[in-house]
Structure 1
């Protein structure tokens, strides 16, 4: 099982892909003054999207299963319910144990990995850890491991958002540890970035009185106020295309056929501002008569722009998109090239990307109508 499996990217042409964990944007309320016992909360985590995609293609029955209170989120990640622990909103610390079981099963590749009872530890100094019970059964029983509350990942932590005394640590960066790499059969090496972690916790009993609310509604006066709250839940990272066919101009051998890629729109509604990258790669061009033009002869000059909106942008949020570098015919899209991308911290919202296409037709090409498939992948 020592083979490392890289991420398997989902091919897109017309359609959309969703990633990330849902997140809620909440207003900050007064912090608690001392540690409190946990009475509720949720841990959302997906381990690693590429691993989920890989296992999902396998012959497990089912390939990915949840039980004992764990559930599958709409974006493919997993939710575990808080069971016990404490947190201190003022200090930004927490140690919360969550319940539930997750099983990755791929009999044809000789492994089954069971993850249960994850625990999130936040130290309040920018660091933390994700622990879990992990059972690995691999290679017909020759590579088994049974770990109890092993540190699967280290966390880069931030101050929690606080509302009504409850805390939420959103989109914490997670990195695979050596123990985690071993427990997951060496699919990824220690130091590999994992899916971000979002963890929440609330007290076992809460005061029903809203400390930020208005005074006694029966009190007279010449004015009144109402507190309005709105939960903004994380959405999806999606890709849509304005068309599925591109017709290039006719060209004779030794010349270039030109045209334009159908515009595509990337919408980052995850609420995490985690960034994204849209890449493209094309197959060889072939004709019905058996002719072929190598894929690398298709070049492009990408364009990109933030989509306009009538809504005022959120305070402090900057939306930006960058086109990829041009690729010339002869050293073009036979390998993956970036069409456009948005960096971490500036990816929220929608952007439109396109490209001018140029296919260099070799002088050795036979006459005929050629076609190829360009695949765009969003990650």
Structure 2
């Protein structure tokens, strides 16, 4: 444990003494976003870690290795696939902006204006940027936004949390991600917050705000529809040119953040800022509607939201049908299915219906990689990706 902060209670309120024995140092710049949009609390691993081909990586993971110790080779999209991304971005910009507005209003109502936005790298990063921009444009709130690592089986980057507490003593932390699948990261975050309180005596709110919650496993969301969020289509090029996060003790020191690669060589292909700029341009209409008191989203913000985990329950039937030994081999929802096709070895893709307009990029990727696609009756999500069991 890094003894960077001393946390105690004063008058029933948690306070942090400025006693920094081994203060977490400021992060070095990484990523292609503007610093006023987000600061990545990540160590740059360029030159320290090479990508592993998909088959070798999958074999290592399924034989006991951990996915966070290796990086997959980034998928290079075809022109047809990139054209589909741009088309989807234009068609869905207003819908995504509306979802961002709902989430942003929800977290502002829950927390008040004194908060820090903490997105989970990397799928959460562009959504965190959008929420930050919305709150600035509509409410005039310029909130700090950091993006940090959380890893299934490894937990959250505690040094990143300690760094945020060092610099924002009186602010509430709000965690943000892109979407939910079966709720694995939701559970990891909850467990990590419990462990953080045991270690440091500081209670974090494990509420996770997402743009889409098709798994019904969080209370703060823009929609529960399993629809195509354009940022789910691509890897680093839409997430600030950072890789997925890595944690290895031979690469990460005691006072350092979890790591990631920075793909500077892909700057010409970067669409991260195009994505957030296109969605942000829609906030003017939403902002006018909100300020006029005619915001159709107000009722949704006020409702008591039920968390049923119905997505996870539905996966049990799929697991039994296909004889899948580990439920983590089932990746439900459009976002997670896309990830399977981009960086895992998929066995097949299940879809609710072949002509679902949200699945055009899924069908393109599956065809490109020779992965069979089949309709599955009564699917809770739009689609599910099944990882090949080696």
Q: Which has the higher contact order (CA 8 A, sep 6+)?
A: 2
Which structure has the highest helix share of the two? 2
TM over 0.5: no
TM-score by length of 2: 0.26
Name the TM-score, length of structure 1 as normaliser.
Answer: 0.27
Mark the structure with the bigger radius of gyration.
Answer: 1
Q: Which has the higher strand share?
A: 1
